[in-house]
Chain A
Amino acid sequence: MIRKLSILAVIAVIAAPSLSWAGDPARDSILADYAAQAGKADAAFSTFSVKRGETLFRTKWASGDPRTPSCTSCHTDNPRNTGQNAKTGRPIDPVAVSVNASRFTNRDDVEKQFGRDCKSVLGRACTALEKGDYITFMAGQ
């Protein structure tokens, strides 16, 4: 009995930190799809980049809606903050995964939001590379 419990304890100790490190399976699967698309678009693609994701997030594009020159126009400079829709005033839940674990876990919602927001901020659709970089940045935030 004690032996069984101690085995369970060992499993718990090993599993707990790895669970907190592992990404959400749904998010991982969305990222894997974007990676496949990015690889198709450019044979030189290797992995998504936190740094490129952050640059995408902070760049003032000036090619979309003037009310939303940048992702930060609604999401603030800190993605862990609650944001505010610059057009409607509606509060926006944080984008950072550390404070909002459900972010980027529903494929339809992710595609819908990139579709709307890329058009509004960049004035064009985002590439699979950009979407993957963005999620990768937010997953570490």
Chain B
Amino acid sequence: MIMRYTLILAALVAAASPALADGWAPKITDPLVQKECGSCHMAFQPAFLPARSWDRMMNELDNHFGEDATLSADKVSAIRAYLMANAGDVKQQGVARKYMRWVAPDGTPQSITENPAFLRKHRFPDRVWQDPKVVTKSNCLACHTQADIGNYDDD
């Protein structure tokens, strides 16, 4: 009897734990990636895109969503290696399982915010998006206060 309660309790704790729910992404552990990818926006966890998307993005930094985000060649190659090794289709953990489902087999999507897995969780009236603290849909931290460490379960 006590055993059964213990199991139920353990199951409840597991369900409430962000690490076991699906709204998380493995956090970035590389200081260079954290610094350079996080210098204008929050550094997005590599789990949100497949490796071939990151590869393409690192080739097109001169026009990075309209911005010149060029870096020295040695930094580009170190960052590329980390992002590709930890990409959603490689690690398949947390959010990756949902996000990778929507990526075409040879697709190289660049905008995480256009993934249907993102869209179906973010159906808000315009006034929410127009809040001055939001600025843009890719500003995860405006609402998910721990997004920078990969926790998106506070919705």
Contacts and interface: CB of A to CB of B under 8 A. Distances in A.
Interface residues of A, number: 13
Contact of A88 (B71, B72, B138): B138
B119 to A, nearest CB: 19
B136 A88 contact: yes
B68 A87 contact: no
Interface of B: 38, 40-42, 67-69, 71-72, 133-136, 138-139, 141-142
Contacts of A88: 40-42, 135-136, 138-139
A49 interface: no
Nearest to A120: B67
Interface of A: 84-90, 108, 112, 115-116, 119-120
Contacts of B67: 87, 116, 120
Nearest to B138: A88
A87 B40 CA distance: 9
Contacts of B68: 115-116, 119
Given A116-B67, A116-B69, A119-B68, A89 B40 contact: no
A88 B142 CA distance: 10
Contacts of B142: 89
A90 B142 CA distance: 8
Given A87-B40, A115-B68, 14 more contacts: A84-B135, A85-B40, A85-B41, A87-B67, A87-B135, A88-B138, A89-B134, A89-B139, A89-B142, A90-B42, A90-B141, A108-B72, A112-B71, A116-B69
A94 B41 CA distance: 16
Contact of B136 (A89, A115, A120): A89
14 contacts: A86-B135, A87-B67, A88-B41, A88-B135, A88-B139, A89-B134, A89-B136, A89-B142, A90-B38, A108-B72, A112-B71, A116-B69, A119-B68, A120-B67
